[in-house]
Structure 1
């Protein structure tokens, strides 16, 4: 167990009782009682997870109900997203990790060779019929590491981001939704110079940001047929296949062409000049105050953070955001967005856990429809009437205060989300679904290296290469570095470790996939 002075993690005290939930069958929603488990025994488990925008509340009635149904006592602490990895690295270095870890996508690969995690295959077969049934087979296969199943995959919807535009500004200026880069450029000029808010002042910009600047240019890159992901390395060495070659996006001709287009917008002064320097909360407020006409970000930014949480319509009456759909077409007719892949997280269990079967049983319950609905929507009759009806006033308040559903981030049921989304009568959810549906309908550009373990070369040079990519992107766009120096950028990128990292990733890809693709640089 963890030392008292170690980083605090949330603890479960689990009392397995025969009569929990609505029967003893796992398919009916209760936790299966294995013949080797002792009834009325108490098991303590610990878990660590990022907060993902949620707040843990000890007296959450939905949590109390979950405890009542399963015999589980929960005492939870969550770490902020931006601090999670550093905290977890400390725990991993000490070898003293919690029983259950929720890690981002394929982050478990960074620790698996240290012997930190349990191979779950046997436990899943014995204790997790619902997890095995409800998680697609290809995800189990995708998350195997050296032939072992160290994590339970958290299923992800690959299309997450949406380019959005001020529909009320389009209507005011008698403009149509843009379909290509030329039309987009014309609209950005109109949004900047034609007083779309009607206040008689030159105080708006066409293109802005409402989260991080690296996201807002994704549809432009997509119009050139590439998906670099987040500029600066959140998607390490994103690459694509061209014939028999693998090509790194960051030094590709398409990347250069996209930067040239973005620079043109910058030179025309239709991009918010503070775009590269603002913090996320500042950018959100600028968007909520009606100062920008376009941004690209997570699907929830416009309908939830701007309209619901920041109450943009009270600040700017009549403001209306709409997804740009289909995505902007480029000079060759290409369009699309970056694919975030089908793995949203990996749930690992410590190799030192004294009660791995108890952890797996609890996770399996969260995979049932009963357990999943409770974790996501709260108590039926108190927080919601049905999964397709509007939340109650109490439920909406709990959701807005972000404490209702933190445990919904442990086990995913994409199939239920899609079924309920299609049938929902909740106007708030219907508005959310406009943006969710748009994100799922774009052509998605996948990183060829998705799911491939990070190489030693990446661990050595990756951060420096990513930092250089980000610096040079800003330099090229703002004109501090002329695009005529592209060749120098490519050579420096190679020397800083880009070539070494890329070659190692191509070799690892060929090894795992049984291919003979060539490093195309």
Structure 2
């Protein structure tokens, strides 16, 4: 008998670029600044420290990729890859920032750098970019640079994003085993996940599968398609009748919770759903216990299928993206746009050699540097991007050390070009998932990209915790949905109203509008 208990994403291994081109900057020392000569007249390497989320990668300083990258940039890189989910990373980052101990180069998620910019931990980099980073300036869109300006200053380098990246995934072999088709409505979805749970889809004679499992370890991501079917996403806003409406207190959001609670009560959701970490969730998928999940597009083909070797563990397993999203009661269907900004890169105000840091980042923005950081050493790990990885490259990817620094600078143009032109079976499979994410209808948050208000900084953390806790309590039955009105009232008192009012005021100030809070 299945016991119940009660969220905790992963970086993307991108499908790389076009033909190697000459990088800009001095060929002898494209990344280092004017340092004193060492023996033999050579410039001494610049020592740079970096911190980024691990993205399911490991740091191997002696790897051919890192050795070659350091050689081409005349640097010595000390990188710290932080494991865990996005909140784990944010927690560690906050501690280092508070202590004034950030590394030379660091990455933050989304617009989180704004939480630290006023404390003086970052260098204002507009002059550095102008003088030393022609590729960062030209290869990253002006719109992205403008979005990340903070109080008319530039503290952050955009890590650009393709907005549609979260993909719902289904076990096609289970559908075939049970004579089912991909669901198109919420009713059909419930029927499919119920049969995935109770009708022995893997034919092992045991009741050890679940229709729905976590893919990212973050409930707002792991249930995104369902929220989209009701047109109400947690933490998002839309403009209706000249009012900015927060989804999280709307009747549609309540309806989404009611539907999800029905799935929970039917025991078709993995009981570890709200407590499992992303790596453990993906292991469970690879072990053949989960019928549907939602995650970053690369999780299905790259992490689960190849890195965790699902097809060796579960012969015949076949993961596919949903070809179309399930529709809700009013015909709505969408995923959430992640926006044009996936994160940002900052240079510490304590960096000993800011010029070396910005030149190193600029090299990663060249065609050559981006390809090296993503695909490895040409002739050893791959020959052409279209042909994909050679055996040595696949081995390095399986061992997770091929491309850790591929998470530092993102070239949208090369990513899309390479994704569509890849010819290897792995690239074709990857593109199937990536293309699905790009083609789903997307909901865009009306307040996306706004600088954080003081109210957000002081009240936001506690409010987010309340929103998360109440969602889980409603779904698991620890809080009856009959207390919905009390939830909304408490949400306003705990900062929801003040935060919304401040954000609408900021929106009006920047956009020249006269919107009002939709409370």
TM range (shorter): 0.7 to 0.9
Between the aligned partners of 1:416 and 1:154, the Cα distance in structure 2 is 14
The normalised TM-score by structure 1 is 0.88
The answer to whether residue 334 in structure 2 is matched with residue 329 in structure 1 is: no
In structure 2, the CA distance between the partners of 1:433 and 1:189, relative to structure 1 (3 Å rule), is: same
Given candidates 331, 338, 345, the residue that maps to 2:336 is 338
Structure 1 unaligned regions, length at least 5:
1-20, 229-236
Between the aligned partners of 2:173 and 2:137, the Cα distance in structure 1 is 47
SS of aligned partner of 2:82 = coil
Which residue number in structure 1 is paired with residue 98 of structure 2?
93
Between the aligned partners of 2:132 and 2:82, the Cα distance in structure 1 is 29
Given candidates 280, 305, 308, the residue that maps to 1:307 is 305
SS of aligned partner of 1:152 = strand
In structure 2, the CA distance between the partners of 1:211 and 1:153, relative to structure 1 (3 Å rule), is: closer
Which residue number in structure 2 is paired with residue 119 of structure 1?
124
Which moved further from structure 2: 460-469 or 85-94?
Answer: 85-94
In structure 2, the CA distance between the partners of 1:428 and 1:107, relative to structure 1 (3 Å rule), is: same
Tell me by how many angstroms 1:505 deviates.
2.0
Which residue number in structure 1 is paired with residue 184 of structure 2?
179
Between the aligned partners of 2:281 and 2:399, the Cα distance in structure 1 is 21
Tell me by how many angstroms 1:372 deviates.
0.9
Between the aligned partners of 2:198 and 2:444, the Cα distance in structure 1 is 37
Structure 2 unaligned regions, length at least 5:
1-19
Which moved further from structure 2: 358-367 or 413-422?
Answer: 358-367
Tell me by how many angstroms 1:36 deviates.
7.8
Which residue number in structure 1 is paired with residue 396 of structure 2?
398
In structure 2, the CA distance between the partners of 1:296 and 1:514, relative to structure 1 (3 Å rule), is: same
Which residue number in structure 1 is paired with residue 406 of structure 2?
408
Which residue number in structure 2 is paired with residue 464 of structure 1?
462
Between the aligned partners of 2:114 and 2:108, the Cα distance in structure 1 is 10
**Correspondence 1:60-209 to 2 at 5 A:** 60-82=63-85, 83-209=88-214
In structure 2, the CA distance between the partners of 1:337 and 1:29, relative to structure 1 (3 Å rule), is: farther
Between the aligned partners of 1:22 and 1:178, the Cα distance in structure 2 is 46
Tell me by how many angstroms 1:37 deviates.
8.0
SS of aligned partner of 2:409 = coil
Between the aligned partners of 1:60 and 1:282, the Cα distance in structure 2 is 27
The answer to whether residue 220 in structure 2 is matched with residue 227 in structure 1 is: no
The answer to whether residue 368 in structure 2 is matched with residue 361 in structure 1 is: no
1:196-240 per-residue CA deviation (whole Å, 9 max, x = no partner) reads 222333333322223325022110100111332xxxxxxxx4322
Which residue number in structure 2 is paired with residue 56 of structure 1?
59
C-alpha contact 2:310 2:317 (8 A) present in aligned 1: yes
C-alpha contact 1:341 1:446 (8 A) present in aligned 2: yes
Tell me by how many angstroms 1:35 deviates.
11
In structure 2, the CA distance between the partners of 1:397 and 1:495, relative to structure 1 (3 Å rule), is: same
C-alpha contact 1:29 1:369 (8 A) present in aligned 2: no
Which residue number in structure 2 is paired with residue 349 of structure 1?
347
Tell me by how many angstroms 1:334 deviates.
1.2
Given candidates 265, 268, 271, the residue that maps to 1:270 is 268
Which moved further from structure 2: 409-418 or 46-55?
Answer: 46-55
C-alpha contact 1:29 1:370 (8 A) present in aligned 2: no
Between the aligned partners of 1:224 and 1:76, the Cα distance in structure 2 is 43
The normalised TM-score by structure 2 is 0.88
C-alpha contact 1:178 1:187 (8 A) present in aligned 2: yes
Tell me by how many angstroms 1:379 deviates.
0.7
Tell me by how many angstroms 1:41 deviates.
4.1
1:405-454 per-residue CA deviation (whole Å, 9 max, x = no partner) reads 11111211121111111111121122122111111111111222222232
Between the aligned partners of 1:66 and 1:50, the Cα distance in structure 2 is 20
In structure 2, the CA distance between the partners of 1:203 and 1:75, relative to structure 1 (3 Å rule), is: closer
In structure 2, the CA distance between the partners of 1:336 and 1:520, relative to structure 1 (3 Å rule), is: same
Between the aligned partners of 2:474 and 2:352, the Cα distance in structure 1 is 54
In structure 2, the CA distance between the partners of 1:495 and 1:172, relative to structure 1 (3 Å rule), is: same
SS of aligned partner of 2:53 = coil
Between the aligned partners of 1:509 and 1:262, the Cα distance in structure 2 is 33
Which residue number in structure 1 is paired with residue 3 of structure 2?
none
Tell me by how many angstroms 1:380 deviates.
0.4
Between the aligned partners of 1:261 and 1:321, the Cα distance in structure 2 is 25
1:447-471 per-residue CA deviation (whole Å, 9 max, x = no partner) reads 2222223223223322222222222
**Correspondence 1:360-399 to 2 at 5 A:** 360-399=358-397
Tell me by how many angstroms 1:283 deviates.
3.1
C-alpha contact 2:84 2:278 (8 A) present in aligned 1: no
Which residue number in structure 1 is paired with residue 7 of structure 2?
none
SS of aligned partner of 1:49 = strand
Tell me by how many angstroms 1:508 deviates.
2.2
In structure 2, the CA distance between the partners of 1:97 and 1:483, relative to structure 1 (3 Å rule), is: closer
